[in-house]
Structure 1
Amino acid sequence: MTILTVGRHSDCEIILDHPTISRRHAEVQAVAGGKFTIQDTDSAGGTFVRDGDIWRRVRKQTVSLRDVLRFGEYEIGVAELLEKIDPSVTLQFGASEAAPVRRAAGANSEPKKPEVGGRFERDPATGLIMKKH
């Protein structure tokens, strides 16, 4: 299965331009049943998953499209993150699965929107998102 790298570096598949995000911050991989694994790659700012009103720092965690992540101080929903590389993600797993991102109270500015690096395609046999070669 393809592993997608999240970070500020131009070699990452999902580029998030924010000062609290490491060059290679985390990795995302699809697993069975519409779930995804998020793994922190020893980032300085940490990777977190929201659990109600609490942020839980994670090393490796299985998440769904409903979950909201935080890389350093940058918050983004799993569905929104994956749509950056393939807009059909919420269509495949169901738009109702995605949760809106609630920004932290007191946040005084919206972070820059992520940019995407590379080109991707969906493998017709497995339905997985693959990097084009």
Structure 2
Amino acid sequence: MPAFKTFSIGSGKNCDIRLNQSSIDNIHAELVIARNGKLHLTDRASKNGTFRKNGARWVRLKQDYILPTEPLRFGDYHVSVSTLMQVIAASGADAQIAAGAINGNASNQKGAAAYDPKSALPTGRVRRSVDTGEIIAVEKE
């Protein structure tokens, strides 16, 4: 089984998760589901943005880990992460990965360590990739 699966989100015909709404770009965002159930969402430089709910306000999301219970907004389209996961599961994606992420308990299974998002960050000197916006470790000179 691969370490992760990537799903494209957008209004385009080739997207894995198709959201047919005028405020959504052809390729709007990308959702990565790790084997351990961690979810990572990246906005693909969409015109109308990707947002997560923070209290009463919507906060722009460029790239971050998300929770299965989080409400999201792609442009003007409101959806929950769990709804996206149900679409993925219905499409025939790996049921073990989708089920772990839907339940939000993949990292809390018996014997598994609690997930700390900071542990996935690079250490030492870092820089942002010009191409993807991703934070990457700088090679020692």
Q: TM-score band (shorter)?
A: 0.5 to 0.7
For residues 13 and 98 of structure 2, what CA distance do their matches in structure 1 show? 25
RMSD: 2.1
TM score, norm. by length of structure 2: 0.61
Larger fraction in helix: 2
For residues 48 and 19 of structure 1, what CA distance do their matches in structure 2 show? 16
- The letter for the 1-side match of 2:41 is I
**Structure 1's 90 and 66: CA in aligned 2 closer, same or farther, altered over 3 A?**
farther
Q: Is the 8 A contact 2:39 2:101 kept in 1?
A: no
Among 11, 23, 27, the alignment partner of 1:24 is: 27
- The letter for the 2-side match of 1:4 is F
Q: Give the equivalent residue in structure 2 for 1:77.
A: 80
TM score, norm. by length of structure 1: 0.65
For residues 77 and 10 of structure 2, what CA distance do their matches in structure 1 show? 11
Higher deviation after alignment, 87-96 or 18-27: 87-96
- Does 2:69 align with 1:66? yes
- Select the structure with the greater relative contact order (CA < 8 A; seq sep ≥ 6): 1
Which protein has the larger Cα radius of gyration, Structure 1 or Structure 2?
A: 2
> Which ranges of 4 or more aligned residues in structure 1 deviate by more than 2 Å?
31-35, 87-97
3-state SS of paired residue (2:88): coil
Where do 1:1-133 residues align within 5 Å?
A: 1-31=4-34, 33-87=36-90, 91-93=99-101, 95=103
For residues 8 and 104 of structure 2, what CA distance do their matches in structure 1 show? 26
Q: Shift in Å at residue 3 of structure 1?
A: 1.3
Q: Shift in Å at residue 23 of structure 1?
A: 0.5
Q: Is the 8 A contact 2:89 2:99 kept in 1?
A: no
Q: Percent identity?
A: 27
**Structure 1's 94 and 83: CA in aligned 2 closer, same or farther, altered over 3 A?**
closer
Higher deviation after alignment, 46-55 or 84-93: 84-93
